[in-house]
A = this chain, B = another copy of it.
Amino acid sequence: MKIKEIAEYVNGEISGNPETEILNVGKIETAGKNEITFISNPLYEKYFLTTGAGAVLVSKSFEIKEERKDIAVIKVQDPYLAFVSLLEVFNRDEAKDKYGVSGNCVIGNNSRLPDRIFIDDFVKIGDNCEIGEGTRILSGAVIQNGVIIGSGCTIGHNTVVHKECRIGNNVSIHSDTVIGSDGFGFAKQQDGSFKKILQTGIVVIEDDVEIGSSCTVDRATIGETRICRGVKLDNQIQIAHNVFIDEDTVIAAQVGIAGTTKIGKRCMIGGQAGIVGHITICDDVIIGAAVGVSKSITKPGMYTGYRAKPFREELKQEASIKYIEQLREEIKKLLTK
């Protein structure tokens, strides 16, 4: 792809040779002559003078302090987003254009499949399922009875979607994830043993959700566990029964959210954080990594600590601990005065 074609694609302005041929994208530290890279973070501006890349995407406000005649520069609105879209242009995965139904899969009765679909080897699809246009079900995946999956989805290898769950359009679920297995519900009996509470609800996943590998999203006891439009989940996340996660919330790996908790819109939850059951987190909350949240949060902002507190307050308290020894010394002196 020539520089002039790239500039047109990302709606940018060229300085340098528009005929330069670019074959891939690269990191600014390691990119070669036929690769294009980007500068978004000011910390990386210093690499402008040394990068081996053939072209660099920069922001419209980027100031070229020292001209480089050997490379092309493309000025764009947002160099990072432009780079991200070029990543896709140069890395088409042809396997994703393959459609068809394997001879080694099992499809139940009354399941409706469109013409353009990919069903891989050793996939099992139950009865009464409905799957949309262009969806891809990868080898080893299991779709139980009565599941509805929209169009343009990918269900990863060995991922399981339990009965009657509903998945929207353009949803990606990676490998070895379990959607809709039983919530953890037991009623204590008089002899101290536990009776299982049948989990009769479902999981609903709305459009444009991405779920990583080895996650577990439990079905509701009654009603539904819901993951709203645009939510992104990393790997190894546990979402318990009847949880509700609102739009565009992003959750990092190994987070656990206990039963019936409600998370607002546009929240960001750090890795290994834990949120107890039956609470509500409002919109626009940032929760740090490994933070424990045991009470509802009603104000947007950042929360940190083993027991979640507003970020500044927690930082101050944490810092104060190191003064205790000094205080002990001082008081000892005062007492013996």
* A binding-site residues for B, Cβ under 8 Å: 25-27, 30, 80-81, 84, 87-88, 90-91, 93, 95, 102, 104, 106, 120-122, 124, 126, 138-140, 142, 144-145, 156-158, 160, 162-163, 172, 174-178, 181-182, 184, 186-187, 189, 192-198, 200, 208, 210, 212-214, 216, 218, 222-223, 230, 232, 234-236, 238, 240, 248, 250, 252-254, 256, 258, 266, 271-272, 274, 276, 289-290, 292, 294, 306-307, 316-318, 320-325, 327-328, 330-331, 334-335
Q: Please list the 5 inter-chain residue pairs (A to B) with the smallest Cβ-Cβ separation, ordered nearest first.
A: A320-B324, A178-B213, A216-B235, A184-B234, A124-B139
Asked if A81 meets B189 with Cβ closer than 8 Å, knowing A212-B216, A235-B238, the reply is: yes
B residues in contact with A331, CB < 8 Å = 327, 330-331, 334
Asked if A230 meets B181 with Cβ closer than 8 Å, knowing A121-B124, A140-B158, A236-B216, the reply is: no
Q: How far is the CB of A281 from chain B (nearest CB, A)?
A: 16
Q: How far is the CA of A213 from the CA of B89 in the complex (A)?
A: 35
Say whether A158 contacts B176, CB under 8 Å.
Answer: yes
Say whether A192 contacts B248, CB under 8 Å.
Answer: yes
Q: A176-B177, A253-B256 known; 17 other A-B pairs, CB under 8 Å?
A: A80-B187, A106-B121, A160-B175, A172-B196, A176-B178, A178-B235, A181-B213, A216-B235, A234-B240, A236-B256, A252-B258, A289-B294, A306-B306, A317-B321, A320-B325, A323-B328, A324-B327
- Nearest B-chain residue to A126, judged by Cβ: B95
Asked if A160 meets B158 with Cβ closer than 8 Å, knowing A27-B223, A88-B198, A253-B240, the reply is: yes
